[in-house]
Structure 1
Amino acid sequence: MTPTITLEQKQRAYADLSEVKANLAARGWFPGTSGNLSQRVGDLADGRFAFAITASGKDKAASTPEDFLLVNEAGEPIEQTRLKPSAETKIHCEIYRLTGCGAVFHVHTVWNNVVSELYASRGSIPIEGVELIKAFNIWEEDAAIEVPILPNYADIPRIAELVAGAIVPRIPGIVLRKHGIYAWGANAFEARKHLEAFEFLFEYVYRMALLSK
């Protein structure tokens, strides 16, 4: 059974993603057509769902009528289209399945690449006592978190298989080593808030590492 998506749901998701895409593109967070954005669109009682995702190979600094397409929980298009979903759609599928979130945003930046390599042997990026940890709804004084790092295999399904073991319930993100971050939230607003917080924290961690040498 294919999820039933109304035109209104589809248009709302595309509009939300277009706004986020323009905002992040203006920051230079989609170099070389990299990165991908998705938003959950509909759910069925049997656990199946659908989401809108950026089409593969598009210049995300531009806005066109073919920026997004709808896929199901397996990452397969649910409408007739010549567009291809992002190569990393399987990772989005796993994050939605495991967290029940409403949006997933993935970007490649210098900061998330550098800190992923800096702490690769540890398997996570340590962040302690920084105020912006509260963006993740973590309110302890001097809170400490560890952002999981996964290996960056060329075979995307191989990465997707590792997502379940990497997700930490209170940390809305995972990082691929020397690749980029996946951040998620209940909706597009929250996912972008989390992404912005991660990027701030990654820059902080790197600069502090330099100062401690």
Structure 2
Amino acid sequence: MHTFPEQAEAVIALAKFCSDKGWLPATSGNLSVKAQAEPLRVAITRSGADKQRLVPADILLIDEDMQVMGDTAYKPSAETSVHIELYRKFNCGSIVHVHTVFNNLMSELYASEGQIEISGHELLKALGHWDEHARIAIPIVPNHADLDELGRAVADAAQAEVPAVLVRAHGIYAWGDTPDAARRHLEAVEFLCEYLYRLRLIGGMSDVRK
């Protein structure tokens, strides 16, 4: 069983990976690793932290009611409710939330459809879909200002077979059984968002949606 300091380091490693990709501009985004299942305990980034320069004190241990455990003046990320709802639904091991240009563009372009359909692409294997004709639909939800409402919307739209949800003009939540799995799922969906956007620019979008 991992200790909280080890889980805090896992959160920092996730943040470094995403920051190196340019996926956590300014102080945006939030990342977490489940520290304990019963009762639920989560290691999560604090509110306002620069994810490119995280130190262990920037990672908080919280309970299922989003109360910080331990002595600190910091508060958890404002979007902690989304993480808690996803942990409750899937009992997953880690959640990453980043803001990028391509996931924002795709969420805007397909907002009216409520999802982005993708089929026949090699990177679907990274999401657990190995069939040659695999097809998935990544949900898109509105960017609710009420964060409790946002948490419920993301969890309601989330599907076990598609470990990611886009929030319109906001960002993406991706999750997995481990921090490595969450990172893999995020990286795959980010690649697909960029690929489909660039394909759309050259007029080839209809080809991949057949």
Question: 1:121-159 CA distances to partner (integer Å, 9 max, x unpaired)?
Answer: 000011111100000111111211110001001111111
Q: Displacement, 1:79?
A: 1.8
| Equivalent of 1:203 in 185, 194, 208 | 194
Partner residue, 1:3? none
| Equivalent of 1:21 in 15, 18, 23 | 15
SS in structure 2 opposite 1:32?
Answer: coil
SS in structure 1 opposite 2:53?
Answer: coil
Contact in 1 for aligned 2:95/2:175 (Cα 8 Å): yes
Q: Distance in 1 between matches of 2:178 and 2:158?
A: 18
Q: Distance in 2 between matches of 1:89 and 1:63?
A: 17
1:57 aligns with 2:51: no
Contact in 1 for aligned 2:94/2:178 (Cα 8 Å): yes
Q: Displacement, 1:66?
A: 1.9
Question: Please, what TM-score do these two structures have when normalized by structure 1?
Answer: 0.92
**1:48-197 to 2 correspondences below 5 Å:** 48-197=39-188
After superposing the two structures, state which structure 1 stretch, 102-111 or 160-169, moved more.
Answer: 160-169
Q: Displacement, 1:96?
A: 0.3
After superposing the two structures, state which structure 1 stretch, 62-71 or 192-201, moved more.
Answer: 62-71
Partner residue, 1:36? 30
Write out the 4+ residue segments of structure 1 that deviate beyond 3 Å after TM superposition.
none
Q: Displacement, 1:94?
A: 0.3
Q: Displacement, 1:164?
A: 3.4
Question: 1:167-206 CA distances to partner (integer Å, 9 max, x unpaired)?
Answer: 1120001110000000000010100000000100001111
Cα RMSD (Å): 1.3
Question: Please, what TM-score do these two structures have when normalized by structure 2?
Answer: 0.93
Gaps of 5+ in 2: 205-210
Q: Distance in 2 between matches of 1:43 and 1:168?
A: 20
Distance 1:20 1:164, change over 3 A: closer
1:11 aligns with 2:2: no
Q: Displacement, 1:74?
A: 2.0
Gaps of 5+ in 1: 1-5
Q: Displacement, 1:15?
A: 1.2
Q: Distance in 2 between matches of 1:204 and 1:92?
A: 27
Q: Displacement, 1:67?
A: 1.5
